[in-house]
């Protein structure tokens, strides 16, 4: 009975192109895993498993490159940072304005928008949000008081476009639009033409 030597197994394996490709792919995967473990900080893995982080970076967000193959552009997921900040004081009253600009050039309405903030204050604080549209119309979105505090505190919060207060404020401004706003989301109203419920392209400035 003849035995097969390791050298013969090696020679037979090298003759198989599929086997070589398989080993190459396996080697690449192992090398990538090792590099990821070494190069990526532990905090990144912890954030990956934190559901709160997926609010700002949703799993279902469509990649930007999809629009390269679309005749009608789909709104991209954007994170707006570095706003234009203006601060004024009038006696004991401090006014701080943050303006975020975004160029909306899509054929569909966005799914939502979120404002994430942290504010340091004492006693009472009022948060107001509005948006100036490409047609010059300014829509009041929100006016709400932050939790009262006797001492200096830092309040962090996320405000979603699905907030009932935003929808209510938009309905109070329904005379601006030539169509019924009932049943429409806040995004479908904010980013809509006033004549027909179709996306209005151009520059929007959100003021907080």
- Tokens representing residue 147 in the block: 């939790």
pLDDT digits (tens, 9 = 90+) for 195-206: 999 999 999 999
State the pLDDT at residue 65. 76
Domain count within the chain = 2
pLDDT at 59: 61
Length of the chain: 208
Question: What is the C-alpha separation between 108 and 118, in angstroms, rounded?
Answer: 31
Joined together, the tokens standing for residue 40 give 């990526």
Cα 34 versus chain centre, distance: 31
- Is residue 83's pLDDT more than 70? yes
In a shared domain, residues 111 and 177:
yes
CA–CA dist 28, 10 (Å, integer): 20
114, 192: one domain: yes
More confident call, 67 vs 125:
125
- Is position 195 within any domain? yes
Residue 84: is its pLDDT beyond 60? yes
70 occurs within a structural domain:
no
Domain that holds residue 27: 6-39
Q: Angle formed by the axes of helices 6-15 and 17-39, to 10°?
A: 90
Check whether residue 25 and residue 84 sit in a common domain: no
Within this chain, do residues 18 and 99 fall inside the same structural domain, yes or no? no
Whether 121 is in a domain gets the answer yes
Same domain, 22 and 88: no
Does 194 lie in the same domain as 109?
Answer: yes
What is the rounded CA–CA span in Å between residue 123 and residue 151?
Answer: 7
What is the per-residue pLDDT across 11-45, written as a single tens digit (0 to 9) for each? 766 677 777 777 888 889 988 888 877 877 767 66
- Write out pLDDT tens, residues 131-188: 999 999 999 999 999 888 888 889 888 889 989 999 999 999 999 999 999 889 999 9
**Cβ pair 128, 143 in contact under 8 A:** yes
**105 and 26: one domain?**
no
């Amino acid at each position: 009975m003849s035995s097969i030597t390791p050298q013969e197994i090696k020679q037979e394996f090298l003759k198989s192109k599929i086997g070589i490709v398989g080993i190459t792919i396996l080697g690449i995967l192992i090398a990538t895993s090792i590099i990821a473990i070494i190069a990526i900080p532990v905090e990144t893995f912890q954030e990956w498993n934190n559901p709160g982080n997926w609010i700002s970076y949703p799993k279902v967000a469509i990649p930007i490159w999809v629009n390269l193959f679309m005749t009608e552009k789909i709104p991209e997921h954007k994170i707006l940072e570095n706003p234009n900040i203006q601060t004024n004081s009038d006696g004991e009253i401090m006014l701080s304005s943050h303006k975020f600009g975004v160029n909306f050039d899509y054929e569909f309405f966005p799914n939502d928008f979120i404002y994430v903030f942290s504010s340091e204050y004492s006693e009472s604080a009022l948060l107001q949000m509005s948006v100036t549209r490409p047609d010059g119309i300014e829509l009041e979105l929100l006016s709400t008081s932050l939790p009262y505090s006797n001492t200096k505190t830092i309040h962090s919060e996320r405000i979603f476009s699905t907030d009932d207060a935003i929808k209510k404020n938009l309905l109070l401004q329904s005379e601006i639009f030539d169509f019924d706003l009932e049943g429409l989301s806040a995004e479908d109203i904010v980013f809509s033409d006033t004549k027909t419920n179709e996306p209005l392209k151009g520059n929007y400035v959100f003021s907080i």
